[in-house]
Amino acid sequence: MIRQAAILVGGLGTRLGERTRLVPKPLLEVGGRPFLDYLLDELTRYPTIHDIVLLAGHRAEVVLEAYHGKRWRGASVTVVCEPSPSGTGGALKHAAAVLQDRFFLLNGDSWFDFNLLDLAVRAETSSAIVHMALKRDQAGDRYGRVRLEGNTVKSFLTAGAEPSGPINTGVYCVDRKIFGSIDEMPCSLEQQVFPRLVAEGHLVANLYDGFFIDIGIPADFGRVQSELPNRLNRPAVFFDRDGVLNVDKGYVHRVEDFEWVIGAREAIKLCNDLGYYAFVVTNQSGVARGYYGVDDVHRLHDWMNGELAVVGAHIDDYQYCPYHEEGTVEAFRRASDRRKPAPGMILDCMKAWPVRKEGSLLVGDNSRDVEAAHAAGLPGHLYREGDLAMFLRPLISSLATR
């Protein structure tokens, strides 16, 4: 399970002219926020990523002041500054002491909307040193193309060499064995390290569909201002938990009592792959009744995160309601507008995340769930039995955002 990501934020950004003289390119504002903030938001959607390392070069002091030592959702952020311009490979090797055995690596000036954990799962079963995420096809003659044989990268074509084909998106899953291929400074991953790995058969790639853009030239920097914020307004699937994701055995709160519904993890991954937010909204009156505590709820959800990551899936947010007006624990004995059939948990998700109502839906196993969905202005669908992924697929596939 990959728990770390590194982002290259040290490029000069010369094609953007005066904009990057005082500010590193990834910190330029897009839609009123630094572009880097969007990358951090996206990485921390994955609850298994606990550590993010920013590899800074040009105007490193700006990055250091803005991000070093911060927390971003559940992840810590560390900034490593290269002492002199060393190229992308040199910046990576300079941070070797803080990088784990396997980590994600991203270019700080590009955005690719795909399921990052799918790449991680594929890397788990391979001995390659680098796994690249490729955009299946991207219009434009300024992109170099990647030539594959199966999933193995055979060569890189220069920009303009072919009018179509897959491109490198600057998103990688990297084994720290890569440091053995970085033996001179300065060093470019793209120009020196990757060709060497291709020759050795240690560079593989997977194709994905999804929105891609980089901010390296003025035209795309202008285009990203509206396109990226709009893309983040995603539809969502809200899952009830007991009876939908797991077999309802009555007040499930221990790992040993948790049993996944057939196709539940695959249904969540389907949401991830198609570009939906995936949320859990669950009544947990067992807390109010004294059967278990909120720590038990969190512990079980943390365990679910690990189980989901194994298949390349994740939940963006867990919302639960521990209150009940007939509870025996005084702190939780009250009515709550978060308890279904009230829509509070759904509405709280929609406030905290840029959810697009169009295409969003809830899957529950009783009328309270459906009432809560309707009260929030969403369709609700009753799941009774069978493969949950098969149940969900026809409801969302035609509305896929990727």
203 and 317 in a single domain? The answer is: no
CATH number of the domain residue 300 falls in: 3.40.50.1000
359 and 306 in a single domain? The answer is: yes
Quote the DSSP letter at residue 189.
Answer: I
Of 172, 202, 231, the residue at which a domain comes to its end is 231
> Does the pLDDT of residue 218 top 80, yes or no?
yes
Query: How much is the pLDDT for 146?
Result: 96
221 and 299 in a single domain? The answer is: no
The per-residue DSSP string of 169-187 comes to: EEEEEEEGGGGGG--SSS-
Q: Which of 151, 137, 135, 128 is nearest to 205 (CA)?
A: 151
| Structure tokens that stand for 219 in this block | 């035209």
Of 193, 209, 231, the residue at which a domain comes to its end is 231
* Global confidence as pTM: 0.95
| Residue range of the domain that includes 71 | 4-231
146 and 261 in a single domain? The answer is: no
Q: What are the phi and psi torsion angles at 16 (to 5°)?
A: -95, 5
Contact 164, 137 (CB under 8 A): yes
Of 187, 212, 231, the residue at which a domain comes to its end is 231
Task: Match 């491109």 to its residue by tokens.
Answer: 167
3-state secondary structure 115-160: CHHHHHHHHHCCCCCEEEEEECCCCCCCCCEEEEECCEEEEEECCC
Q: Which pLDDT band holds residue 257 (cuts at 50, 70, 90)?
A: very high
| Structure tokens that stand for 102 in this block | 């396997």
pLDDT above 90 covers what percent of the chain? Answer: 87
Mean pLDDT of 40-46: 97
74 and 214 in a single domain? The answer is: yes
Task: Match 């060093």 to its residue by tokens.
Answer: 187
Q: Which pLDDT band holds residue 400 (cuts at 50, 70, 90)?
A: confident
What lies within 8 Å, CB to CB, of 222 at 6+ separation is none
| Structure tokens that stand for 144 in this block | 């170099």
- For 161-185, how does the pLDDT look when each residue is reduced to its tens digit (9 = 90+)? 888 899 999 999 999 999 999 988 9
The per-residue DSSP string of 197-227 comes to: HHHHT-EEEEEE-S-EEE-SSHHHHHHHHHH
Number of domains within the chain: 2
Cis preceding linkage at 341, omega within 30: yes
Q: Which pLDDT band holds residue 195 (cuts at 50, 70, 90)?
A: very high
152 and 250 in a single domain? The answer is: no
- For 97-113, how does the pLDDT look when each residue is reduced to its tens digit (9 = 90+)? 999 999 999 999 999 99
**Mean pLDDT for the chain overall:** 95
Quote the DSSP letter at residue 332.
Answer: G
Hey, which residues are catalytic here? 240, 242
Q: Compute how many other C-beta atoms are within 10 angstroms of the C-beta atom of residue 12.
A: 14
> Does the pLDDT of residue 16 top 80, yes or no?
no
| Structure tokens that stand for 15 in this block | 């094609």
Mean pLDDT of 319-343: 98
> Does the pLDDT of residue 117 top 80, yes or no?
yes
Q: Compute how many other C-beta atoms are within 10 angstroms of the C-beta atom of residue 286.
A: 21
CATH number of the domain residue 159 falls in: 3.90.550.10
Q: HSE-up of 93 (CA within 13 Å, CB side)?
A: 21
Rounded Cα gap, residues 134 and 102, in angstroms: 19
29 and 170 in a single domain? The answer is: yes
26 and 172 in a single domain? The answer is: yes
Q: Which pLDDT band holds residue 21 (cuts at 50, 70, 90)?
A: confident
170 and 275 in a single domain? The answer is: no
Query: How much is the pLDDT for 277?
Result: 98
Using DSSP's 3-state secondary structure scheme, residue 256 falls into helix
246 and 108 in a single domain? The answer is: no
- End-to-end CA distance of the chain: give it in Å, rounded: 25
Q: Which pLDDT band holds residue 380 (cuts at 50, 70, 90)?
A: very high
Angle at 211 between CA 209 and CA 213, to 5 degrees: 125
379 and 361 in a single domain? The answer is: yes
227 and 351 in a single domain? The answer is: no
